[in-house]
Structure 1
Amino acid sequence: MVRSEATDVMIAGAGPVGLTLAAELRRAGVACRIVDRLPARLPFAKAVGLQPRTLELFDRMGLVRDVLDAAVPMRGQLTYVNGVAEGRIELVLPPEVPYGFAALPQYGTERVLEEFLGRFGTAIERATELVAFAQDADGVTSRLTTPSGGEEEVRSRFLVGCDGAHSLVRKGLGLSFEGGAFPEEYMLADVEVGWSLPPGYAVRSTHRGAD
């Protein structure tokens, strides 16, 4: 038997975007549910950089101190070519910009946002996946699979897809993926290094082959 419930806004995806949306909705007194197909936060850094404007938004939400306490201020970048130091880039912003750049692993940002949502009694429904939806003139009916293997239908005024590059919501609406993509392949790893580096500086290292 399919269980049915209702809410104002259904959010698919509990990454930083979905969590921020849920936090802003709850601050405004709007009821919402947020689901994510993964059983837990991923323990990998993934997206690390926090832009000054992002920190301004967190300030408006009353979260910036929690974020900055967990983050590392970014002051610049050291560049290496074939293992040789080539220069240093300083991140300098106009004095009227209240916050600088910062680095915080994505799981750290998600933790702060999840704890903030908990103050409103809103929990992330993990291991819960949006598998289908249908919209009409009055709202949206979403079909979810639950951790127990069952199904649930949720009626909402709005459905927001924060479910990443392979978004079911975007595909279901027939929307194209706007923008471009880099032709290169990238690898991201979390490693510990024994280098002695000035605090707050990222490292950009490239290798150039012989002509």
Structure 2
Amino acid sequence: MAEVEVLVVGAGPVGLTAACELQRRGVRCRVIDRLPAPQPFAKAVGIQPRTLEIWDRMGMAREALEAAVPLRGQLLYVNGVPQARIELTLPPDVPYRFAALPQNDTERLLEDVLKRWGGRVERGTELVGFAQDAHEVRARLALPAGEQEEIRVEFLIGCDGAHSVVRKTLGLDFAGAAFPEEYMLGDVEVDWELPPGYAVRSWWRSSR
């Protein structure tokens, strides 16, 4: 018999959401993440209206909106000159609007929900490999102190990102392609007079 029903690999937004939805329905799950601590960076920030509807059912939409900034549109510039202002509009029957919330805040809120439903994230714990048959999955974990543990579960959910051990072990392709451009990602505080809630896109064209 499996020791827990589900092993969730990866404690990002996808893995935490899956774990929360399982726990609140009475499905026992174990959540692991290879990083020793949550990342303190924003990374992704865009929150879709449908995501907020799901969070409403989970009981965290209010907390998310209190921490978020309403996303109203985009301001476009070329060589520092304003070119366009795009407004984000939705049908009136959509209960939530777009929002901007740093991913580290999203993960913090989701982990709080997981704890309320009796779950927790085992940090510094990595999936080394697994095998499955018609009845269960046998997963091998590397624990923080260096030892290994083998567990049996009914299902394994791979939420471990672009370099997923789960995907590679199953021999699945990573559909999609990378952008050819290079870019930098950073968390900064900006003192300016631009209206809040607008993403800013700025292009610089050389005369050469």
State the TM-score bracket (shorter-chain normalisation).
over 0.9
Q: What is the match of residue 78 of structure 1?
A: 75
- The alpha-carbon deviation at position 56 of structure 1 amounts to 1.0
Q: What is the match of residue 20 of structure 1?
A: 17
How many pairs are equivalent? Answer: 207
Which sections of structure 1, spanning at least 5 residues, go unmatched?
none
Amino acid in structure 2 at the alignment position of 1:27: R
2:3, 2:109 → 1: CA distance? Answer: 27
Tell whether 2:205 aligns with 1:202: no
Q: What is the match of residue 132 of structure 1?
A: 129
- The alpha-carbon deviation at position 183 of structure 1 amounts to 1.9
5 Å-filtered alignment, 1:32-181, equals 32-181=29-178
Which has the higher mean CA deviation after the structures are superposed, 172-181 or 98-107? 172-181
- The alpha-carbon deviation at position 79 of structure 1 amounts to 1.1
- The alpha-carbon deviation at position 87 of structure 1 amounts to 2.0
Over the matched positions of the two proteins, sequence identity in percent amounts to 66
1:187 to 174, 184, 188: 184
Q: Secondary structure at the match of 2:3?
A: strand
Which has the higher mean CA deviation after the structures are superposed, 87-96 or 179-188? 179-188
Q: Is the 8 A contact 2:23 2:118 kept in 1?
A: no
If the length of structure 2 is used for normalisation, what is the TM-score?
0.96
- The alpha-carbon deviation at position 202 of structure 1 amounts to 1.3
2:10, 2:149 → 1: CA distance? Answer: 17
If the length of structure 1 is used for normalisation, what is the TM-score?
0.95
Amino acid in structure 1 at the alignment position of 2:16: L
Give every structure 1 segment of 4 or more consecutive aligned residues whose post-TM-superposition deviation is greater than 4 Å.
none
Which sections of structure 2, spanning at least 5 residues, go unmatched?
none
Amino acid in structure 2 at the alignment position of 1:206: W
- The alpha-carbon deviation at position 185 of structure 1 amounts to 2.1
- The alpha-carbon deviation at position 186 of structure 1 amounts to 2.5
